[in-house]
Amino acid sequence: MPLLGDWDYRSREGVLESDSGAWSLFRVPDHEVWHILSIWVEAEATATAGTRALALTILDDTDDRMYAARPGATLTAGQQRDFLFAPGLPDLTSFRDTDLLLTPIPAGLILRPGWGLFIEYISGFDLVDDSDATSDIDTLTIQIVYASQATLSTVGGTPQSSDN
Amino acid sequence: MPLVNDWRYLSREGPSSYDNVGPTFTVPVREVWHVLSVWVEYTASDTAATRQIRLVVQDDTDDIMLEIAPGVTVTASQQRDFLFAPGAPDLTSARDTDLIMTPLPAALILRPGWDLVISEQSSGDTTDSETMVVQLTYARMAVLSTDGSTPQTSDN
């Protein structure tokens, strides 16, 4: 367990949810602050026609949107594409070597206690499992690398208004 | 031996022989690495083909954590140098005919047991007669535990 004020380097794999959309949510535990270092997304689309767009959204502890980023390219039916979000990367608008897209995020992307990091398909996705043999929906495999710092309090997870 | 949480600056040359995966650096247990730069001297054989190289980071179970692709490919008999480092420009043509610079994430952290691999995505020569000389500079921090090298799932 790190001392208060120490950064502990961690990583975490997402769990794909697909009830009303295809998405994965990472929620910062109480008494922790996260500094996001990189986000790796492997997206695989089914053969169902549609242009899939991805979005990265940061939510506070009441699910207000604090930040959003969108990669510079989409994927279509039957494609498998990899997306890397990290500080200092170029903002590519076409896939490099056919399958890899790089997108920058802020160098100081800090998530406070209770905040969420949300990756989702925002359009064109296929959530209809129309295969008898195996699951047949669009998928996302997500790996995040982050630094975690212990905090004594969760106060401030909800942003203060400007007059208090 | 540095104290826990102190950063110590080191460098390391990649293996001179490697299989088709490419030169691999593996973080020892109880260490965390912050990658500062990766230098690759690549020499292609004379077999006709377009080569793409890629920097790949894998966790201790070989799940891919990130990949970086330079903006330039290499063809037969070419010798090219690649620099990967935070803050470098993202070149899409070789500068002075032989140097390609590509940015890395500002904080490229490798945990215990993770691998950094310079991989050929496509190769014209399956006999491994192409060569890659790789030099890595990094900061190393001692850690007390290897817990967490395999990423947690988001619900634990």
Chain segment B131-156, per-residue pLDDT in tens: 899 999 999 999 887 665 666 654 33
Compute the average pLDDT of residues A1-6.
Answer: 64
Q: Which of A14-23, A146-155, B59-68 has the lowest mean pLDDT?
A: A14-23
Does any domain span residue B65? yes
Count of A-B CB contacts under 8 Å: 96
What is d(CA A40, CA A53) in angstroms, rounded to the nearest whole number?
A: 16
Whole-number mean pLDDT of chain B? 87
Does any domain span residue B120? yes
Does any domain span residue B25? yes
* pLDDT attached to residue B156: 32
Contacts of A6 in chain B (CB under 8 A): 5
For chain A, say whether B113 makes contact (Cβ under 8 Å).
no
Record the tokens describing residue A148, joined without a space: 């975690």
What is d(CA B6, CA A141) in angstroms, rounded to the nearest whole number?
A: 33
Number of domains forming the structure of chain B = 1
Instruction: Check which CATH number belongs to the domain holding B34 and give it.
Output: 2.60.120
CB atoms within 10 A of CB A156: 14
Does any domain span residue B151? no
What is d(CA A94, CA B5) in angstroms, rounded to the nearest whole number?
A: 40
Record the tokens describing residue A87, joined without a space: 């500080």
- Of B58, B2, B1, the C-alpha closest to B25 is B58
* pLDDT attached to residue B153: 58
Statement: A12-150 belongs to CATH 3.40.50: no
Instruction: Quick: pLDDT tens for A86-143.
Output: 999 999 999 999 999 999 999 999 999 999 999 999 887 787 777 655 567 888 999 9
- Of B67, B89, B11, B75, the C-alpha closest to B43 is B75
Contacts of A81 in chain B (CB under 8 A): none
Q: H or E stretch including B124?
A: none
Check: complex ipTM more than 0.85: no
User: Any idea where the domains of chain A sit in the sequence?
Assistant: 12-150
| Band of pLDDT at residue A157, cut at 50, 70 and 90 | low
With a cut of 90, say whether residue A153 has pLDDT above it: no
| Band of pLDDT at residue B120, cut at 50, 70 and 90 | confident
Record the tokens describing residue A155, joined without a space: 């106060």
pTM over the 0.90 mark: no
Domain boundaries, position B105: 7-142
Does any domain span residue B155? no
CB atoms within 10 A of CB B115: 17
Among A37, A40, A84, whose Cβ lies nearest the Cβ of B109? A37
